[in-house]
Structure formats: structure tokens, C-alpha cells
């Protein structure tokens, strides 16, 4: 049985209310909206890339990356043909690198199974790597003009307020109620291209409203095209909806990382493809050791490089913190300069190595903490000073 609140909210969605919301939002959206690069065409590839980038990432950040990505990989065939390293290099700094790996895997699948044409079938779209319900809804409604709903953070906030839904979007009952509302609201795909109802425009209008008018704090209700039917506004305190998520404890993780320098170059290793930062390049990095930093570095060299190095000479550098949504990473970097190194064999977490001049960053996939560390420390005489090598 559905929760009472769910039933109450859905019962507010009568056909006249539904039609009023659809009409007002579509007119408002068509009268003017932000000019975003991915809105200039309904090409499924562009819509797909944009929607993957927009997950967990601010629109302004995506703007920078989107044009560069499309210039380098203009279509699905170009993306599928590229090495994963190149894709990760262009994604560097955008975070959540699993998105880039999935995008690449899905491009290869589209080329192999569908001849490079984006699948039209709902099940086939949903089965592509990295395409969840939100992305599938966006691709189907915006690019394929199919009746498909979507709920992202902005849409969740708008719907929770319109229907005064007292459920958290992150929890199962809240998620279910929001999706149900979104599915009821999204219009049928029109027969004629210029018909009034358009599921893609409607979904984009909902997202646009959440991004520009129905803001998390101080929503601009006076400018809102659906204020007449908004239950939260009528109650006088729209910010009550949706209820905030309870504070959560983010675990702290400590890591040691070794800047191994030789002849002005620093050693980078490529992580195995899966998992956090999979496929990205970083200095050898591993767990701390309760016995002390030298033991941690020794183990790191043995387990990840298959080598013994004079880690007792390693110099500590300033520690730093890198925040992820699900954990707080504390890094303690060490610098070790050597005149020569024994043969190194990337293993454990890594599958490749290369030496990099930190003053001349190469186009490599790197997490923000790695480029930050190399950038902060790239003064050759400070970090990898060949003249000071002992
Ligand atoms: Fe959001 Fe206010 Fe519009 Fe309601 S009236 S949807 S709270 S901006």
C-alpha cells in the first residue's frame, strides 16, 4: 500500500491541474530560456554526452568541457574509436570518472550493436552502460521525442513544492512518489513537430524552472509560471520542501603518495580500469601503515611497483585533503629523488607507468588531486630537481 502522503499528493494532480502545469511551463520555456550549447540540437549523441556530464556537475563547469569534448569526439563513432586514455584525459577535472568510462563503453556498444545509430527502443537505451532512469528519460524525451519522464535534483525540488510532498527524494518512498508525479505530468509525444505538447520541452522546462526560479533557497515565486497551482507557495513556506536529507557521516581515508623523481621527471602509474579513479594516472599511492611512513612507502613500492627503493630518504611534503561525496581523502605526499631506479613493474592497483616532466603536463587522465599536486609542486627545483639528485 502506498504511503498516505504519496496518495494525497497524487490526488492533487487532477487533469485540470496537470493541463495547467503543462501549458504554463511549456509557454514559459518557449518564451525564453538559457542558451546552453547542448540545447542547440536534439542530436541524441549531444544530448547523451551533456546529460552524462551534467550528473553531479554544475552547468557552468559542463559548458567548458562540453565544447572541448564535442570538438575532439564529434560523434559516437569518433568516441568509440578513441582510446580510453584520450577520453579520460579530456574528462580530467570533471570528476566521477566512471561516467567517462561508461560513456566510452556505451559508444563502442552503439557502434558494435546498432551500427553507430542511437537505439530508439526504451529498453535498449536503458541497457547502455552508465544510462540510469534520469539519463534514459532525458535522451528519450529530448532527443527521441518519446513520452518519458525524468527526475533530477531540480525536478525533485519543483515537484516536491508543487505538490507539498513531505518525503525525502533520496529515500525510496520519496523517489517513487516523485517519479510517479513526473510520469503523470509529462505530455504525450506530439504527432506534428510543432505541436504544443512536447515531452522534451516539458522536461527541460521543469529542469529550467528548478535551476533558475524554484531555487533551493529563496525561490522566486513571484516570477514562477506555476505559482497559481503550487501547494508549497500556498502554505507560505516553500523552502520546507523537499525535507532536507539527514546529515551523514563521511568516512575519512588516509593515503600516502610517493613522488618518485628522476632526472627532472616524476613517475606516474595508471590505475586499473575499474573502481574509484579507474584508468587515471597518479603517483604511486597506497594505505598508511600504523608502524610509520617508511613502512607504508616500502610496502607501496613492493606491492605496486615490485621494487625496493631507498624510501628512508623520502621527504614529506605538505599534506592535503581531497573531498569526495562519499569520503574525505587525506593525502600525505613524499618526495624521493633518485639517480637511478631498478626495473619497475606496475602491479596491484596499477597496469602501466610513465615518467612525466611536471612542468609540462601531458594530456593524461588525472583526478583533480593529482593535477593539483603536480601543479602546486611543478617548480622543477622544488620537486624533481635533477641537480639535487643524490
Ligand atoms: Fe517553486 Fe515558488 Fe514556483 Fe512553487 S511557486 S514551484 S515554490 S518557485
The residue-averaged pLDDT of 171-178 equals 95
pLDDT at 278: 92
pLDDT at 9: 56
Residues 131-169: pLDDT tens digits? 999 999 999 999 999 999 999 999 999 999 999 999 999
Tell me: pLDDT of 3 over 50: no
More confident residue, 199 or 8: 199
CA angle 372, 325, 160 (to 5 degrees): 135
- Give yes or no: residues 25 and 77 share one domain: yes
Residue 185 sits at φ, ψ, to 5 deg, of: -80, -35
Our mutation pick for probing the ligand 1 site, out of 9, 161, 231, counting the most ligand atoms within 8 A of Cβ, is: 161
Residues 76-87: pLDDT tens digits? 999 999 999 999
- Give yes or no: residues 233 and 143 share one domain: yes
pLDDT at 2: 43
CA-nearest residue for atom 2, ligand 1, is: 221
> How high does pLDDT run on average in the chain?
90
d(CA 328, CA 253): 6
pLDDT confidence bin for 248, thresholds 50/70/90: confident
pLDDT at 242: 97
Q: Quote the cell numbers at residue 272.
A: 586499473
- Give yes or no: residues 234 and 256 share one domain: no
The residues, any chain, with a CB within 8 Å of residue 41's CB and separated by 6 or more, are: none
Rounded to the nearest whole angstrom, what is the distance from the C-alpha of residue 155 to the centroid of ligand 1?
A: 12
Residue 71 class from Cβ within 10 Å (0-12 exposed, 13-18 middle, 19+ buried)?
exposed
Q: How many CB atoms lie within 10 A of CB 61?
A: 14
- Give yes or no: residues 192 and 218 share one domain: yes
Q: Is 221 in the pocket of ligand 1 (CB under 6 A)?
A: yes
- Give yes or no: residues 61 and 90 share one domain: yes
Helix residue ranges per DSSP H, 325-367: none
pLDDT at 8: 47
Q: Is 84 in the pocket of ligand 1 (CB under 6 A)?
A: no
d(CA 88, CA 363): 9
pLDDT at 378: 62
Q: What is the CA radius of gyration of the chain?
A: 25
- Give yes or no: residues 204 and 272 share one domain: no
Across 46-55, 262-271, 277-286, 374-383, least confident range = 374-383
Tell me: pLDDT of 332 over 90: yes
What's the number of domains the chain is made of? Answer: 2
Q: Is 143 in the pocket of ligand 1 (CB under 6 A)?
A: no
DSSP letter at 358 equals: T
pLDDT at 197: 75
Our mutation pick for probing the ligand 1 site, out of 158, 163, 185, 236, counting the most ligand atoms within 8 A of Cβ, is: 158
> Is there a catalytic annotation at residue 188?
no
- Give yes or no: residues 230 and 289 share one domain: no
Within a domain: 9: no
pLDDT at 249: 86
Within a domain: 247: no
- Give yes or no: residues 137 and 259 share one domain: no
CA-nearest residue for atom 7, ligand 1, is: 238
pLDDT at 247: 84
Q: Is 162 in the pocket of ligand 1 (CB under 6 A)?
A: yes
pLDDT at 312: 95
For residue 226, the ligand 1 atom closest to its alpha carbon is: 3
- Give yes or no: residues 288 and 372 share one domain: yes
Cβ contact 309:301 at 8 Å = yes
- Give yes or no: residues 281 and 163 share one domain: no
The residues, any chain, with a CB within 8 Å of residue 202's CB and separated by 6 or more, are: 22, 25, 26, 29, 141, 185, 186, 187
Q: Is 199 in the pocket of ligand 1 (CB under 6 A)?
A: no
Residue 91 Cα distances to 29, 221, 279, 294, 336, angstroms: 31, 37, 11, 34, 29
pLDDT confidence bin for 195, thresholds 50/70/90: low
Rounded to the nearest whole angstrom, what is the distance from the C-alpha of residue 156 to the centroid of ligand 1?
A: 12
Rounded to the nearest whole angstrom, what is the distance from the C-alpha of residue 162 to the centroid of ligand 1?
A: 7
* Strand partners for 259: 335
Q: Is 211 in the pocket of ligand 1 (CB under 6 A)?
A: no
The owner of cell 611536471 is 358
Q: Is 157 in the pocket of ligand 1 (CB under 6 A)?
A: no
Domain boundary among 183, 218, 240: 240
pLDDT at 389: 30
The residues, any chain, with a CB within 8 Å of residue 225's CB and separated by 6 or more, are: 24, 25, 27, 28, 209
CA-nearest residue for atom 5, ligand 1, is: 227
- Owning domain of residue 143: 15-240
CA angle 162, 165, 170 (to 5 degrees): 115
- Give yes or no: residues 234 and 336 share one domain: no
pLDDT confidence bin for 361, thresholds 50/70/90: low
Amino acid at each position: 500500500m502506498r504511503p498516505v502522503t504519496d496518495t494525497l499528493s497524487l490526488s492533487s494532480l487532477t487533469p485540470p491541474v496537470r493541463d495547467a502545469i503543462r501549458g504554463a511551463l511549456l509557454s514559459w520555456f518557449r518564451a525564453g530560456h538559457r542558451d546552453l550549447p547542448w540545447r542547440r540540437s536534439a542530436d541524441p549523441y549531444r544530448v547523451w554526452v551533456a546529460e552524462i556530464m551534467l550528473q553531479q556537475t554544475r552547468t557552468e563547469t559542463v559548458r567548458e568541457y562540453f565544447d572541448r569534448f564535442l570538438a575532439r569526439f564529434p560523434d559516437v563513432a569518433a568516441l568509440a574509436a578513441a582510446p580510453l586514455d584520450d577520453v579520460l584525459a579530456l574528462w580530467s577535472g570533471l570528476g566521477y570518472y566512471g561516467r567517462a568510462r561508461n560513456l566510452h563503453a556505451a559508444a563502442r556498444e552503439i557502434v558494435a550493436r546498432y551500427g553507430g545509430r542511437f537505439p530508439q527502443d526504451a529498453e535498449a537505451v536503458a541497457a547502455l552502460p552508465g544510462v540510469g532512469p534520469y539519463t534514459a528519460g532525458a535522451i528519450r524525451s529530448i532527443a527521441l521525442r518519446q513520452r518519458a519522464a525524468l527526475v533530477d535534483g531540480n525536478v525533485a525540488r519543483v515537484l516536491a513544492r508543487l505538490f507539498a510532498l513531505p518525503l525525502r527524494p533520496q529515500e525510496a518512498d520519496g523517489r517513487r512518489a516523485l517519479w510517479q508525479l513526473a510520469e503523470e505530468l509529462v505530455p504525450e509525444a506530439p504527432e506534428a513537430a510543432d505541436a504544443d505538447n512536447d515531452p522534451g520541452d516539458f522536461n527541460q522546462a521543469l529542469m529550467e524552472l528548478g535551476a533558475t526560479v524554484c531555487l533551493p533557497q529563496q525561490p522566486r515565486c513571484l516570477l514562477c509560471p506555476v505559482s497559481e497551482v503550487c501547494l508549497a507557495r500556498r502554505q507560505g513556506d516553500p523552502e520546507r520542501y523537499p525535507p532536507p536529507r539527514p546529515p551523514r557521516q563521511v568516512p575519512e581515508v588516509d593515503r600516502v603518495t610517493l613522488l618518485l623523481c628522476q632526472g627532472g621527471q616524476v613517475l606516474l602509474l595508471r590505475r586499473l580500469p575499474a573502481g574509484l579513479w579507474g584508468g587515471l594516472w597518479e603517483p604511486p599511492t597506497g594505505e598508511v601503515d600504523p608502524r610509520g611512513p617508511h613502512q607504508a612507502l616500502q610496502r607501496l613500492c613492493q606491492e605496486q611497483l615490485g621494487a625496493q627503493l631507498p624510501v628512508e630518504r623520502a621527504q614529506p611534503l605538505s599534506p592535503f585533503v581531497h573531498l569526495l561525496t562519499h569520503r574525505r581523502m587525506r593525502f600525505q605526499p613524499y618526495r624521493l629523488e633518485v639517480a637511478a631506479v631498478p626495473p619497475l613493474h606496475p602491479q596491484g592497483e596499477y597496469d602501466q607507468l610513465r615518467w612525466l616532466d611536471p612542468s609540462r603536463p601531458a594530456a593524461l587522465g588525472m583526478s583533480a588531486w593529482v593535477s593539483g599536486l603536480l601543479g602546486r609542486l611543478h617548480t622543477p627545483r622544488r620537486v624533481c630537481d635533477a641537480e639535487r639528485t643524490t
